[in-house]
Amino acid sequence: MKEKKFGWKLQLIGAIAIVAIILIAVIKIVIWDKSGDKTVLEEVEEGTYDYESLDMVFTVDPSILAEREDDGINTILCIGNELFTEAPGGTSILDMISEIPNTDIISLVCFNSRVTDVQNTYTEKNPSYWQAANLYDVCKALSTHDFSLQKEAVDNNAMIGQDYLDTMSSVDMEKVDTVFILYNSVDYRNYCMLYDPIDLYNTSSYEGALRASINTLKKAYPHLRIILGSPYMHSVIIGDDVQPSSIYSYGNGNLSEYVMRQYNVAMECCISYEDNYFGLINEDTVNDYCNVNILNADGLKLIGTHITEYLKRRY
């Protein structure tokens, strides 16, 4: 009989302890809640809170750089598409970069080229000269000095011309200090596959093409400072509606998802990242800086200034 009474008392003590713990937790939450201003999400206007820039810097191993003679000139190889050369205000991003002191620019910029291949050339499956200026195919050619795919493209009047091939084949990668990779949202707008969960190096996926390209360059030329630049937020026309690319998906994700995949690959591969997306153009200002998916003069100045200020810093 005494054991039953004692068991009942233990249960009562346990219940009181639980209630006390819950009461203390509630008091702490109330105190914390009163310590700052309340924000009701439904009352927040779009654009009130800006995203912070994802700019990121990785430095090249100092022991590798110590083996190289510094000539005082930052030789930058630019790989990308027409985002480099569009000039709605008369001055392009490539022009702005060229004005950076003590900088020499080599341009492998091709109109309508993109990050993603139509097929996976990483596994050597039917490489096509129609993608000879896409990112991986350019990086592979520079790393192996095999320009046969680009030569085939010139012979078939596809994508690139003789000037592009001449520039590519004459680049001395040992003298290049920086590779700056920059594309607009062409992969997003062409419904390119975002990633391949089975084949991480599938160059017909956006993430796979970036990973394969960057690792190919790094393996061949470990001294390179590689910088990956992001696209920018813009609007897209869907029927009679205009929507920001940050919320509209063509089926593989909105532009924000492409940007985040890009950023994650940069972190994984330990290369620098130059962000033109977060912190510059948002849903509230997109029509001030863009004409649908193309930058206007103000937008190009905004993006170009950010790029040049980033590239002026040598690490």
CATH architecture for the domain at 54-312:
3-Layer(aba) Sandwich (3.40)
Parse the chain into domains and list their residue ranges. 54-312
Contacting residues for 179 by C-beta, under 8 A, at least 6 apart? 76, 77, 79, 217, 224, 225, 226, 227
Separation in Å, CA 280 to CA 195, 286, 305:
26, 9, 11
pLDDT of residue 22: 63
Residue 28 one-letter amino acid? K
pLDDT of residue 239: 80
pLDDT of residue 35: 41
Alpha-carbon gap, residue 191 to 195, rounded angstroms: 12
Report DSSP state, residue 175. Answer: G
pLDDT of residue 11: 60
The 10s digit of each residue's pLDDT in 243-294 is: 889 999 998 999 999 999 999 999 999 999 999 999 899 888 998 999 888 9
Alpha-carbon gap, residue 243 to 283, rounded angstroms: 9
pTM assigned to the model? 0.83
Residue ranges in the chain whose pLDDT is less than 50: 2, 26, 28-49
pLDDT of residue 47: 42
pLDDT of residue 40: 39
Angle at 219 between CA 216 and CA 69, to 5 degrees: 125
Alpha-carbon gap, residue 9 to 24, rounded angstroms: 23
